[in-house]
């Protein structure tokens, strides 16, 4: 089986002069960097619109793209923006995404782009809108949020919240321009996304996208299909998602997402899920299924609890859903994010699904013969240095318990000449796992400031790290050399497949 490798970097973390990474020239330059470094994959986080808390795992829509990622320079080139439109805009501190600034400065710019674009690109927009029917409900949902002061839909007037047909007809007429504006932003996003995706493919780079297991309560998906979720007659969740207490968090994690009514989902043959995965398969070459263990059993926390302590495990759909997903997208590759509390039943689900799981180097050295140690790795797995929820490797080296680091040094032969971080990357690169993925922060040896997310904490530091500039060719060449040494070059993988 071919051995390959990739780099994890979210779009928001790319450098740009406008406060957040975009689908513009720096994204194309990063693809070039990946190709020069001999990589096969670019892994990103979910691409949906973010809201309160800024988490890409809490999006208002399973279909929509994040309008913050729209490249403004492209809009300037198309005549949808003018240089004077940028007067008095402020993007926050360098190296961080200021989501408040995105809301207050970027969205008005995009609205100006719509006001010009609805005539300049009228026919193209009309054709795209007709081909993407989902955008009408999304546009109405967002237009209603704007009308009602961005409150969650549970706090809207009852007829709007409960989707009264006559009320919705009236709102569609009243809010037609706002609906069109939100739809136009999606037109721009997907035009730019598809162009970037095509470019990545032309360079031999496949994109690994992330499919969050849950949707947020205040989403167009719950608003439209409340019957598919565990809600009471008033539309209030009866229980919400989270994960139990563990060695990292004594209270567990209270995510707060509404839980699915899996029995009703099954009666529809998982139609909602299958369409969701088909949409993701159009956007990505490989889909990482977030919180895969939640398909076997999920942690249900009573609604209103302030921590996840009082939750309980409840059986999920298991292989029934996995089979439905695989049947819907038979040509799509998947990764099972199988981290967390793994029981025999979860391990059986992973085995039966035949999906590759995840092995994380940062987790390897807490046990003398743990499952994450490189010698216990398996071929059908993706080895990571760490994920967006973990410390960077440089931070881990600085903060981990001395005895854990001592074990890692002894096990991998870590030394100052090579560098501890480089040695840890070597440990992952050399495993038998068919794919190895490192965060770009780890290749760059960025410390604590580069951590993407601290689970369970609400902080403006979460989801906000970004590059000031792309790494240089010297780093690409270094990555190439190690990738070549361990037989993971894209060309080596191609030759292996041809020989097979």
**pLDDT digits over 98-147, tens only?**
999 999 999 999 999 999 999 999 999 999 999 999 999 999 999 999 99
The pLDDT of residue 494 is above 70: no
Stretch 382-400: mean pLDDT: 97
Please confirm, yes or no, whether 344 is among the known catalytic residues: no
Predicted confidence (pLDDT) per residue in 425-446, tens digit: 999 999 999 999 999 999 999 9
Catalytic residue chosen out of the listed positions 218, 221, 337, 338: 337
Angle at 365 between CA 361 and CA 367, to 5 degrees: 130
Compute the CA torsion angle 216, 222, 223, 227 (nearest 10 deg): -160
Stretch 471-485: mean pLDDT: 97
Predicted confidence (pLDDT) per residue in 276-314, tens digit: 999 999 999 999 999 999 999 999 999 999 999 999 999
- pLDDT confidence of residue 407: 97
Catalytic residue chosen out of the listed positions 285, 290, 362, 442: 290
Sequence-separated (6 or more) residues with CB below 8 Å from residue 425: 385, 393, 438, 442, 443, 482
pLDDT bin (cut points 50, 70, 90) of residue 341 is confident
pLDDT averaged over every residue in the chain? 95
Instruction: Check: CB of residue 144 under 8 Å from CB of residue 136.
Output: no
pLDDT bin (cut points 50, 70, 90) of residue 70 is very high
**Angle 420-429/402-412 helices, nearest 10 degrees?**
60
The pLDDT of residue 482 is above 60: yes
Structure tokens at 153: 């839909």
Would you list the DSSP string of 144-213?
Answer: HHHHTTT--GGGS-HHHHTT-HHHHHHHHHHTHHHHHHHHHHHHHHHHHHHHHHHHHHHTT-EEEEEE-S
This prediction's pTM? 0.96
- pLDDT confidence of residue 94: 87
Please confirm, yes or no, whether 73 is among the known catalytic residues: no
Burial (CB < 10 A; 0-12, 13-18, 19+), residue 56, is buried
* Three-class secondary structure of residue 497 per DSSP: helix
Strand runs labelled E in 187-283? 206-211, 239-243, 253-258
Predicted confidence (pLDDT) per residue in 173-211, tens digit: 999 999 999 999 999 999 999 999 999 999 999 999 999
- pLDDT confidence of residue 498: 62
Nearest-angstrom CA–CA distance, 58 and 145? 16
Structure tokens at 341: 């509390």
- pLDDT confidence of residue 496: 62
Catalytic residue chosen out of the listed positions 73, 389, 445, 478: 389
Please confirm, yes or no, whether 369 is among the known catalytic residues: no
* Three-class secondary structure of residue 257 per DSSP: strand
**How long, in residues, is the chain?**
500
């Amino acid at each position: 089986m071919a051995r390959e490798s990739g780099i994890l970097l979210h779009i928001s973390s790319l450098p740009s002069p406008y406060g957040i990474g975009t689908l513009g020239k720096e994204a194309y330059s990063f693809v070039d960097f990946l190709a020069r470094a001999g990589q096969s994959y670019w892994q990103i986080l979910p691409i949906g619109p973010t809201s309160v808390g800024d988490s890409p795992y809490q999006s208002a829509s399973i279909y929509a793209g994040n309008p913050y990622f729209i490249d403004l320079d492209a809009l300037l080139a198309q005549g949808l923006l003018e240089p004077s439109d940028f007067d008095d805009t402020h993007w926050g501190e360098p190296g961080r995404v200021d989501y408040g600034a995105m809301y207050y400065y970027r969205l008005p710019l995009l609205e100006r782009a719509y006001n010009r674009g609805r005539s300049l690109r009228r026919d193209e927009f009309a054709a795209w809108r007709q081909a993407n029917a989902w955008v009408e409900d999304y546009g109405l949902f967002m237009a209603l949020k704007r009308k009602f002061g961005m409150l969650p839909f549970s706090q809207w007037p009852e007829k709007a919240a409960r989707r009264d047909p006559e009320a919705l007809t009236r709102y569609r007429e009243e809010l037609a321009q706002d609906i069109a504006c939100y739809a136009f932003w999606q037109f721009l996003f997907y035009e730019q996304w598809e162009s970037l995706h095509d470019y990545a493919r032309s360079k031999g780079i496949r994109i690994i996208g992330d499919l969050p297991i849950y949707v947020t309560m205040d989403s167009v998906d719950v608003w439209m299909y409340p019957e598919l979720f565990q809600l009471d007659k008033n539309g209030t969740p009866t229980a919400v998602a989270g994960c139990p207490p563990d060695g990292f968090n004594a209270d567990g994690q209270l995510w707060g997402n509404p839980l699915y009514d899996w029995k009703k989902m099954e009666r529809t043959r998982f139609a909602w899920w299958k369409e969701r995965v088909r949409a993701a398969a159009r956007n990505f070459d490989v889909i990482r299924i977030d919180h895969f263990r939640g398909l076997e059993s999920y942690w249900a926390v009573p609604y209103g609890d302030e921590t996840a302590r009082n939750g309980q495990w409840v059986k999920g759909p298991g292989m029934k859903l996995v089979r439905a997903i695989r049947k819907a997208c038979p040509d799509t590759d998947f990764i099972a994010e199988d981290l967390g509390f793994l029981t025999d039943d979860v391990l059986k689900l992973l085995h039966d699904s035949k999906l590759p799981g995840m092995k994380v180097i940062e987790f390897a050295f807490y046990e003398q013969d743990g499952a994450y140690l490189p010698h216990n790795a398996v071929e059908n797995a993706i080895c990571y240095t760490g994920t967006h929820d973990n410390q960077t490797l440089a931070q881990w080296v600085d903060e981990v318990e001395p005895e854990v680091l001592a074990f890692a040094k002894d096990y991998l032969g870590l030394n100052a000449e090579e560098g501890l971080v480089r040695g840890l990357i070597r440990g992952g690169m050399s495993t038998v796992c068919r794919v190895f993925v490192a965060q770009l922060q780890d290749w760059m040896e960025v410390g604590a400031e580069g951590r993407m997310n601290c689970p369970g904490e609400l902080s403006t530091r979460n989801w906000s790290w970004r590059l000031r500039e792309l790494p240089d060719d010297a780093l690409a060449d270094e990555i190439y050399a190690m990738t070549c040494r361990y037989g993971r070059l894209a060309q080596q993988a191609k030759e292996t497949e041809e020989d097979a």
